[in-house]
Amino acid sequence: MVNRVLIVEDEPRIASFLEKGLRAEGFTPTVVSSGVIGLDYALTGEFDLAILDIGLPDIDGYTVLKRMRGSGSSLPVIVLTARDSVTDTVRGLEGGADDYMPKPFRFAELLARVRLRLRGSSAAGEEKTVIEGGNVRLDLVRREVTVAGRAVELSAREFLLAEMFLRHPGQVLSREQLLSHVWGYEFDPGSNIVDVYVGYLRKKLGASLITTVRGMGYRFDLA
Ligand code: CA
């Protein structure tokens, strides 16, 4: 089941971050940078979910949302708001948004909201709440991790990183992918934080689980 996601966002860096990230997770994203066009697209019935920025060059996100709901559209909408703007959030939710995402955000946070919204709609497939790989088991709801049945403590970032690896077993994940997923688009791509955290995960989950692929990134190996 392909989930088609409409992204209405005028900032190219964020739009591309969302588009790449969603595509890598198997969604089919469409990006538009204008509120008027976004509204048109939203009303086509061709999408399963919309991610809607508030600050747009023509009509703002509130207006798009109001007109959508006024036209009878029940398309799930996640509104992107400024981190400090409670007003944005309240107006967005009152205007019919299903959820909101304060900027700046990490891709993993947004993805969790997208999956949650799609799970509630008929178009969604079954979403797993426990993922396993080798002897590692992550309970996504209880935020618990076990290795060979033994509980392991992971920090929030370590957990997100582990989840990313377990969802993509045997696949090489680049530092850039991991960085944008777990730390967000605001983070310095020259940073070695990914390598540092992979080191933490190896210590906690087992050194042989994550293989370094020289010049490319890391791969989670099941055997
Ligand atoms: Ca904007």
- Look up residue 51 and give its two tokens: 């991610």
- Return the pLDDT at 95: 81
Q: Tell me how far the alpha carbon of residue 64 lies from the centroid of ligand 1, in angstroms.
A: 13
Residues near ion ligand 1 (Cβ under 5 Å): 10, 53, 55
- 28 forms beta bridges with 4
Distance CA 6, CA 54 (A): 14
Parallel/antiparallel/unpaired status of strands 217-220 and 210-213:
antiparallel
Q: Tell me how far the alpha carbon of residue 157 lies from the centroid of ligand 1, in angstroms.
A: 27
Q: Tell me how far the alpha carbon of residue 24 lies from the centroid of ligand 1, in angstroms.
A: 23
For the chain, what percent of residues have pLDDT higher than 90?
A: 58
Cβ partners under 8 Å of residue 1, min gap 6: 123, 124, 125
Q: Tell me how far the alpha carbon of residue 82 lies from the centroid of ligand 1, in angstroms.
A: 10
Q: Tell me how far the alpha carbon of residue 14 lies from the centroid of ligand 1, in angstroms.
A: 9
Four-CA torsion 195, 155, 105, 49, nearest 10 degrees: 110
pLDDT digits over 135-166, tens only?
999 998 888 999 999 999 999 899 999 999 99
Residues across the chain: 223
Give me the tens of pLDDT residue by residue for the chain, a chain 223 residues long.
Answer: 679 999 999 999 999 999 999 998 889 999 999 999 999 999 998 999 999 999 999 999 999 999 999 988 999 999 998 767 777 777 777 788 888 898 889 999 999 999 988 876 544 445 578 999 889 999 988 889 999 999 999 998 999 999 999 988 888 999 888 988 888 877 777 788 999 999 999 999 998 899 999 989 999 987 6
Q: Tell me how far the alpha carbon of residue 98 lies from the centroid of ligand 1, in angstroms.
A: 19
- Return the pLDDT at 122: 45
- Return the pLDDT at 86: 72
Q: Tell me how far the alpha carbon of residue 161 lies from the centroid of ligand 1, in angstroms.
A: 28
Q: Tell me how far the alpha carbon of residue 8 lies from the centroid of ligand 1, in angstroms.
A: 9
Q: Tell me how far the alpha carbon of residue 85 lies from the centroid of ligand 1, in angstroms.
A: 14
Distance CA 66, CA 131 (A): 38
- Return the pLDDT at 126: 54
- Return the pLDDT at 205: 94
- Return the pLDDT at 141: 83
Q: Average model confidence (pLDDT) for the chain?
A: 89
Question: Cis bond leading into 104, ω under 30°?
Answer: yes
